[in-house]
Every structure is written in structure tokens, then in C-alpha cells.
Structure 1
């Protein structure tokens, strides 16, 4: 076992961050402790870590809870992670792409998941949208993200960062921007600042869309031309007569409309022949 651990540790120490995986390994032990303190893991929690990398956060999570699952895309890190955590009770490792992963398979005894991750910046937005589809099965989510992305998640109407991402995340979750993380906390150091965000799905949605696809389509179309007024940006979706029935000032820009107003608009238009389609892209 010593030889096995030694060779695995050597492989880990030689592992270089890969740009194609968006890898930036967290090395600041103070920040690591702050993150885990924010998560406040309990023994009985069902915790899922996305992208454990070299196990910086994983070790403290494993010490705190009895049910830990990790999802790692990089095949070269998998053997090292297996050796390091093989004696931890109920540790599961999945070599998989979190963007395609079915998180339902991790749920045990109807217990909600607690999801944690230092997310690669290049896939953070589509991954967040993927995870929101499991919101009713999640207790909370704690993520390290590019600071700009966290600001967009937490933004309010009138903010320059307010847009599709913030509206749809806030539809499902309460958003807390916890603290910033400087580039020097990583190896290699990224060229941007990072931040820790907590997303807590609502037990009961404060504003309910009758058709979530219609809401997604409405918001997506509105922010494709965010500098234009609603009257101009929604032309491709609605007739002039339909737009006049909307309960908002059509002279406002999309970034000036609140989440409750978007939900109200979506519900009012629900009986019209909106094609929900597939929401793609970003604002």
C-alpha cells in the first residue's frame, strides 16, 4: 500500500493543470478552510463535489461527512483520488463530465444533495443551468466561480450585470455572494478574480411560471438585444397587439424589468402560441 500511495502521490505532484479542462488548482489553505466553513458540512449530509482536482477541498469534506461523491473529468487524476480516499466510508468517484451527469443517481433515501465545486470558468454558465434542473432535489450549492459570473448571478434590475443568468438562477434560488478569492490562491493563477457563491433552492418558488420554457424563451429573446427597449427586442416573438397587453412599460430596457415582472409576462403570454424552443447562448 505504501508503494501504491507513493506512486500515486508522485503522479499527483507531477500533474499539470490542463487548459482544455479549465483547471486552476486551489492552493491557499486559508481560503480552503473558509470555503468549507461556509459549507458547514454535517456528518449525515449527502455531499457532491464537482471537479475535486487534487483534493484540496475534498479532504476537509471527507473528514466532515460520511457520504461524499465526487465527479472528475480528468482521467489522470482519478487513480490518485481513488487511492487517497478509498478508506473513506461511502466515498464514490465518477469519472464523468458534470455537464452530462445525471445527479438523480446520487440521491439516497430522498435526502437532498449539497453540491460543491471549483467550477471551470469555461463551462460554469451551462453547468449552472444543468444543475438548476435538479433544484428541487438540492439543499444548497457552493461554487467557486469567476467573480464576474457571481455578480451576474446576484445582480438586481438596473445593474449592468443583470441579465438572463441572474434572472433564471434567482427564479430557483436565493443567491449569496459570500467572499472574493484572489488569483494568487490558485496554481496556475488565473487572470481574473474569483468569488464564492451560495445558491439555496427555494422550498416554494416565490414567483411561479406556468410554463418554464416560455419564461426562458422570453428572457432569452429580451436579452439578445439588451440595449434596445422591450418593444424592439420582443418584436421577433410577439405582435404589436400582444405586446400592448403586457403589464410593463415597453419603453424600458430588458435590464430594467424585475423577475416577478418577467414571470407575470410569461404567464400572460402562456396561452399564446409561443414556441419555447431551446434556450441557448448567454446575454
Structure 2
């Protein structure tokens, strides 16, 4: 079972139909969907094709083994995270993105492009750069170069709530070349937001908040984990998970 996102007039779809037993496509433009439908009408491939009309980001996806997409660049990030949250897990996704977005997906700690996106995606999947695609491969040529990546979800997925990990990386990568301590304490509103979450957590669990300054509690977590002077640009996923676990141990949450 193959899922294709944004098939357009179906140049890639007809090649997929040659190999796949069943293909579902999600297309937002009714004119494109009609063109694709007409292209397979009366052919054996028609029985193997389901066309879903609508916005991919708002569509309930069917079961699929493989996802293939020449991704509309404006939905690159939402598409990746929608796929990674899909259950049951798919086998792999072969996706084309704008080159810089693709390189962010595969970046490693210490790379110039290592960022919140890199960490969030690599927590839940293995990402490989497959090939570069020149702008001259398209008519008319776009303004940017492209790349194809393969995303393979980790199975089983780590039992880390995405909202919590994303909340942490949102803070530490807000100033990726500054210290983690600065990301927490120099950015307006971060400590207030975490303290509000902490008070809510204590109320729900019916426990008394720790005495003393909440800011000092946060500072102590950063010191105890050895992360206070680290910089997000060089922190790997294990470093981030260690920090998240230490905050959770104190009842400090990010969502």
C-alpha cells in the first residue's frame, strides 16, 4: 500500500501504479485530481487508485506501508511530523524537499544545520539523504535545488511524548550557539511558563511545590546534569533526553 502526497497530474503516480498493489493519493487541487482521474480512466490502474481530495495536513490518513511525495515546500515540516505521528507505523517514506530543509533533517550535532527540526525528527526516525535533484529537472525550473530523503520510523518508537521533547528543544535551540543556561534565563517568559506548568502539575498530582525559588530549582537541574554551559548546537539527542528526564524528575514539564 502506497500513499502519495500531492500527485499533481500524476506523472509519478502512473509509475507507482506499475509497481504497487494499491495507491492512495492526497491532492488539494480539484483540477489536478480530475486530471489524474481522467488519466487512468478505463485502464487497469484505475482499480488500484484511490484519490482523496483535501488538505493533507487535515486529512485522516488510511493505512499505508510506504509514503512517496514530491512535497509542496510550504508543508514540509507539518508533513514530516504528521507522518511520524501516524499509527500504525509505516515502513518508510521517500520524500523530496527543498535542499536546505532536507539537509536539516539529516544534520548531526556540531553541523551548521543541526537544529530543533533535526533533533525532533531523529528522535523518532532514521533519516538518510538519497540524492540531489537539480532545479533543471523541472519545467519550469524552481528557484531552489531539491533533495530526496528516506525517513524510516524507529520501531518501537521511543516512549517520549513529542510535546515534551519539542517544548524542551524549542527553548534550547532558540539560541543554539548560546549556553543552555542563557536559553532558559535570558529569553523572556521561559521561567514564568515553566513555573506555571510546575504549579499545574503539583495541583493535579496533589503534591506541595518545593520550597524556595523556582528559578533556582531550574538552575540546579541545569548544573546537576552538566548542561548549563552546553550549547544546543553541539548537544546530541542523548544529552537532550538526559536533560528532559532530570526536569521531569522535579515535576517540571514543557507542555
TM-score, structure 2 normalization: 0.82
Deviations 1:136-184 (A, max 9, x none): 5211001110110111000000001001111111111111101100001
Root-mean-square deviation (CA, aligned residues, Å) is 1.7
Q: Aligned residue for 1:219?
A: 169
TM-aligned CA deviation for residue 273 of structure 1: 4.0
Structure-2 residue corresponding to 1:68: 23
Aligned residues: 223
Where do 1:48-197 residues align within 5 Å? 48-86=3-41, 87=43, 88=45, 89-103=47-61, 106-107=62-63, 112-134=64-86, 136-197=88-149
CA–CA distance in structure 2, aligned partners of residues 252 and 268 of structure 1: 15
Deviation of residue 196 (structure 1)?
Answer: 0.4
Structure 1 pair 258/135, CA: closer, same or farther in 2 (3 Å)?
farther
Q: Is the alpha carbon distance of 1:169 and 1:51 closer, same or farther for their aligned partners in structure 2, counting shifts above 3 Å?
A: same
Q: What is the rounded CA distance, in whole Å, between the counterparts of 2:105 and 2:221 in structure 1?
A: 30
Shift >6 Å, 4+ stretches = none
After TM superposition, the structure 1 stretch with the greater mean CA deviation from structure 2, 188-197 or 125-134, is 125-134
**1:245 to 2:200 alignment:** no
Report how far residue 209 of structure 1 moved.
4.9
Q: Name the CA distance, whole Å, in 1 between partners of 2:160 and 2:146.
A: 35
- How far off its partner does 1:192 sit? 1.1
More helix by share: 2
Q: Give distance in 1, aligned partners of 2:181 and 2:87.
A: 32
- Which whole-Å CA distance do the structure 2 matches of 1:128 and 1:150 have between them? 11
The structure with more radius of gyration: 2
CA distance in 1, matches of 2:88, 2:114: 24
Kept in 1: contact 2:9–2:33 (CA 8 A): no
SS at match of 1:99: helix
- Normalising by structure 1, we get a TM-score of 0.74
1:172-209 deviations in Å (ceiling 9; x for gaps) = 1111101100001112211111000000111134xx35
Identify which of 258, 269, 281 aligns with 2:247.
Answer: 269
**Is contact 2:221–2:246 with CA below 8 Å preserved after alignment?**
no
Bigger mean CA deviation after superposition, 83-92 or 184-193: 83-92
Partner secondary structure for residue 39 of structure 2 = helix
Q: Is the 8 A contact 1:211 1:267 kept in 2?
A: no
- Give the 3 Å change call, closer, same or farther, for CA 135–173 of structure 1 in structure 2: farther
